Structure 1
Amino acid sequence: MIAFKHVSKIYPNGIHGLHNINLHIGEGEFVVIVGLSGAGKSTFLQSINRLHEISEGEIFINNKSITKAKGNELYRIRRDIGMIFQNFNLVHRSTVMRNVLSGRVGYHSTLRMILGLFPKKDKQLAMEALRRVNIPEKASMRADQLSGGQQQRVSIARALAQEPKLILADEPVASLDPMMTGQVMDDLLRINQELNMTMVVNLHDIEIARKYANRIIGLKAGKVVFDGKADEATDEAFAEIYGKTDKTSERMGMEQYERIENTANG
């Protein structure tokens, strides 16, 4: 599904955002990328769909090089990649349905989209996407009338309406309270399992990563320092990712995880 081959990203100031990354992410995996701020998580994620241009190496999506792709080929590859952002990236004054339908822009002409001429099939896809995240009743509401968690669910539905082959989520729960964090992560996991949809998710919280991922990749200073199954992500492994003296992040992660569990259990 995704292959990194000797991928590096070097910023103009000489700092390595990514350093010689070599790995493969298979179809249907739920992969969580963890690491401290500045470890390279967002650079890693956004290089997959070329929101970040890499400096060296090559990235393949379904055996096609997105690194070398241009024009219509790049457009078609990107159409298969759904993206979910921390800040939702919704048009707040538009309806939920219109925001979800924006996931269909890659399939129609610019003029058709400006005029809002979405075919019936697109509207059915959008409504089904809203059902998958449990908010079909919000379709006619304005996006800015929703809570943060509901807005993130709209952004997930928008990605689904795109009919992607994989979804990238960059800190999708960082701005949400514990209850909504659990609900949004449950949505992503259910989509992964029911649709066999490949998920690559950036998270700060190590306990949430352990709960939801089937594979965890740890980055430190742009390098992969851990790559294994969630049950292999021991405290020692996380000490390597976060630093042996950094216990605050681990404790805060455990506290947030316990709040989510307590809320879910009533």
Structure 2
Amino acid sequence: MIELTNVSKHYPNGVKGLANINVTINKGEFVAIVGLSGAGKSTLLRSINRLTETSSGDILIDGESITAASGKKLRLMRRDIGMIFQSFNLVKRSTVIRNVLSGRVAHNGTLRTLFNFFPENDVKLALKSLERVNILEKAYARSSTLSGGQQQRVSIARALAQEAKIILADEPTASLDPVTTKQVMDDLKKINEEDDVTIMINLHFVDLARQYATRIIGLQAGEVVYDGPAHEATDAVFEKIYGRPLQEDELLGEEIG
């Protein structure tokens, strides 16, 4: 469970990133966060694992405050939270399997990981994770040789190898074509359903949110203006979230698949 209580974020330039957010995310939910650019989607997501520090309020993960955590406690809490970025966040000069094994760093000692001494079970887990996202054949390829969609699937495999209980995905399909978008979204949905992993994902496309999420949270100027089941998020709801009629580039036109 993730609980945000009166969470706000104010930047030094006066910009309001988040305004008094009160949201509870239950285990196993697939939550899409939608809204215009600058609505606070990335700020909300990055606040949950403390990549962004909040100005006020509290965030609890399974009843423990990550807001107040520091040192070893913070590292242990972050170990359960996988992060998937729009830019993939891979070490391009390293092999695919080495990037996936970086998800095991928090489970091993610093010296061991510094010299790439990973236990055999970790290597097996990394290979299994690559197999689950259908990219096992690229395990020993240099990451820079992969397509954008393949790199994003490597980042998903890294979260799997991390054995994350929560996956936060920040616009993971923004730079991908429709076919690759479907592959990535199918992978995330499969992980959500088979492993009971909680997924929170920022999405640009309305139809993706409707098709894959079980719940949609709409943000406008840092405030929650919609929070409800995905199947109840009509065009009228999205027009309220966006503050205007939907534009063509905010839709995929029809469900992918």
Common fold by TM > 0.5: yes
Task: State the secondary structure of the residue aligned to 1:168.
Answer: strand
Residues 40-51 of structure 1 aligned to structure 2 (within 5 Å): 40-51=40-51
Q: 1:94 and 1:86, CA in 2 relative to 1: closer, same or farther beyond 3 A?
A: same
For residue 13 of structure 2, what is the amino acid of its counterpart? N
What amino acid sits opposite 1:253 in the alignment? E
Q: CA deviation at 1:65?
A: 0.1
Alignment of 1:67-78 (within 5 A): 67-78=67-78
Question: Is 1:47–1:54's contact at 8 Å kept on the other side of the alignment?
Answer: yes
Residue 63 (structure 1) aligns with: 63
User: Which sections of structure 2, spanning at least 5 residues, go unmatched?
Assistant: none
- Please give the per-residue CA displacement for 1:78-112, whole angstroms capped at 9, x wherever unaligned: 01100000000111111111110011010112221
The residue number in structure 2 matching 1:253 is: 250
Question: 3-state DSSP class of the match of 2:24?
Answer: strand
**SS across alignment from 2:78:** helix
Query: Matched residues in 1 for 2:164 and 2:180: separation?
Result: 24
For the Cα contact (< 8 Å) 1:167–1:198, is it kept in 2? yes
Give CA deviations for 1:212-254 in whole Å, capped at 9, x if unaligned: 000000000000000000111011110111112x432xx2233
Letter in 1 for 2:176: L
2:11 maps to amino acid: Y
Contact 1:126–1:161 (CA<8 Å) still a contact in 2? Answer: yes
Distance in 2 (alpha carbons) for counterparts of 1:247 and 1:141? 41
SS in 2 for 1:228: strand
Instruction: State the partner residue of 1:33.
Output: 33
Residue 191 of structure 1 aligns to a residue whose secondary structure is helix
4+ residue segments displaced more than 2 Å: 251-254
CA distance in 2, matches of 1:95, 1:161: 15
Task: Give me the identity figure in percent.
Answer: 61
The separation in 1 between residues aligned to 2:43 and 2:246, in whole angstroms, is 25
Conserved 8 A contact 1:80-1:165 = yes
The one-letter amino acid of 2:17's match is G
What do the CA deviations read for 1:193-228 (whole angstroms, capped 9, x no partner)?
000110000011111100000000000000000000
Q: State how 1:114-125 maps to structure 2 within 5 Å.
A: 114-125=114-125
Secondary structure at the aligned position of 1:247 is classed as coil
Number of residues of Structure 1 aligned to a counterpart in Structure 2: 257
Moved more, 10-19 or 75-84: 10-19
Distance 1:124 1:30, change over 3 A: same
Q: Which AA in structure 2 matches 1:58?
A: D
Cα distance in 1, alignment partners of residues 229 and 86 from structure 2: 25
Summarize the alignment of residues 71-90 of structure 1 with structure 2, pairs less than 5 Å apart: 71-90=71-90
Structure 1 unmatched runs, 5+? none
Shift of residue 140, structure 1, vs aligned partner: 1.0
Q: Is the 8 A contact 1:208 1:253 kept in 2?
A: no
Q: Which residue of 1 aligns with 2:170?
A: 170
Q: How far did residue 28 of structure 1 move?
A: 0.3
1:30/1:213 contact within 8 Å kept: yes
Aligned residue number for residue 241 of structure 1: 241
Is 1:112 the counterpart of 2:112? The answer is: yes
Q: 1:257 Cα shift?
A: 4.5
Q: CA RMSD in A?
A: 1.0
